[in-house]
Structure 1
Amino acid sequence: MANPIEFYFEFGSPYGYFSAQEIDAIGQEFGREVVWKPFMLGSAFKATQSMPLMNVPLKGPYCVHDWERMSAYTGTAWKLPEKFPAAILAAPRGFYWLKDQGQDELAVTFAKAAYKAYFAEGRPLWELEATADIAAECGIERDEFLQAVQTPEVKARLIEEGQKAIESGVFGSPFIRVDGEDFWGWDRLAMVRDWLKNGKWG
């Protein structure tokens, strides 16, 4: 069986959001399973001595324009969140909570809904209650979700996944790994397709 496509992303990452609209289709095109792996970029920023794009002079305004341009280019709904960047914790915690219950498909459905809520609908994904509303809309029991994402075990699970990602070389969102080859950024999706089609080059 072919290796899966590993899709590392941060719920607060616009480039991750745009990539999330395409990654499953790429997997289906080439008969590869896509394994979604959310993590927190804050830890990666510490490891790379970096900072959020919006905090970087010149680069921040460019990126705002770039995201608007990407929305028009790809036909993807987009709205810069009221609070951005923001610490989004409940969504990735909830994702791994679902996954640990064997609800992989529901976890991805929830991830897509959460991304859309934050970057297309202007909903406050940084708020626990708002995230629980999104979970409920996906058919997840709201109170159970609220309780789960606040447990030490689920919090530790997200931290552990983030540490493993960084130790394996992940430093940004999106970060796509195919057969041991790493690709960083939405603009590398074309290269991912070519790699899957033709194999290693160079």
Structure 2
Amino acid sequence: MAAPVEFWFDFYSPYGYLASLQIDEIAARHGRATVWRPFLLGPIFQRQGLAPLVEIPLLGDYARHDFARSARLIGAPFRLPSAFPKAGLAPARAFYWLAERDEAKARALARAVFRAVFVEDRDGADPAVVAELAAPLGIERDELLAAVARPEIKERVKAATAEAMARGVCGSPFFFVDGEPFWGNDRLWQVERWLETGGW
């Protein structure tokens, strides 16, 4: 089988949210699976000497406009969180912990967190909120809260972020298709063309 499409994202990335609504379907149209890989943008921004997009003069105003416009284009609900940006440590830790047990539930939780953050304006960085979102998936609240506090789970997110940086991931979302890197929700059409043609 062909290698899966890697989808790297930060839970507080608006474009990561929009990509999460599309990438599985795009990959499936071409007989590919996907691998979801949350990481933290903060350390990558620091390494590049960058501020979060919305905090950059001029570009920040444009980005706010483009987030909403990009969401309308695909018919997705969107609301920029009132507290933004934040570090999505808790959901990333919960994802990796849950993925070791049940990949489908981990993705379902990721989607629930994205919706909570970018549609419902809830605090997806709060472990208690993540635990609440996991409850409908049959995940015990106390078990999840204990898991996200474990050193090995914390290290898992650090390692994922370090791997992302080492592989040249410079923003969210970021995709690898057969090793070829693509950065940004606006590159999804290129991802699909690459899958169609095998590259150029």
TM-score (norm 1): 0.96
Structure-2 residue corresponding to 1:192:
191
Structure 1 window deviating more from structure 2 (13-22 vs 67-76): it is 67-76
Which structure 2 residues correspond to residues 32-181 of structure 1 after superposition, within 5 A?
Answer: 32-101=32-101, 103-181=102-180
Instruction: Tell me how far 1:179 sits from its aligned partner.
Output: 0.7
Deviations 1:115-145 (A, max 9, x none): 0110011111122211111111332211100
Count of aligned positions: 200
Counterpart CA distance in 1 for 2:70 and 2:136 is: 27
Structure 1 unaligned residues grouped into runs of 5+ = none
SS state of the match for residue 51, structure 1?
coil
TM-score by length of 2: 0.97
User: Are 1:27 and 2:23 an aligned pair?
Assistant: no
Structure 2 runs not aligned, ≥5 long: none
Q: Return structure 1 stretches of 4+ with deviation > 2 angstroms.
A: none
Q: CA RMSD in A?
A: 0.9
One-letter identity of the residue aligned with 2:196: K
Residue 98 of structure 2 aligns to which amino acid in structure 1? L
State the one-letter code of the partner of 1:19.
Answer: A
**CA–CA distance in 2 between the matches of 1:26 and 1:37?**
17
Equivalents in 1 of 2:78, 2:45: separation in Å?
25
- More off after superposition, 80-89 vs 184-193: 80-89
Q: Which amino acid aligns with 1:161?
A: A
The alpha carbon displacement at 1:90 in A equals 0.7
Shift of 1:114: 0.6
The whole-number CA distance in structure 1 between the counterparts of 2:142 and 2:73 is: 39
The sequence identity of aligned pairs, in percent, is 46
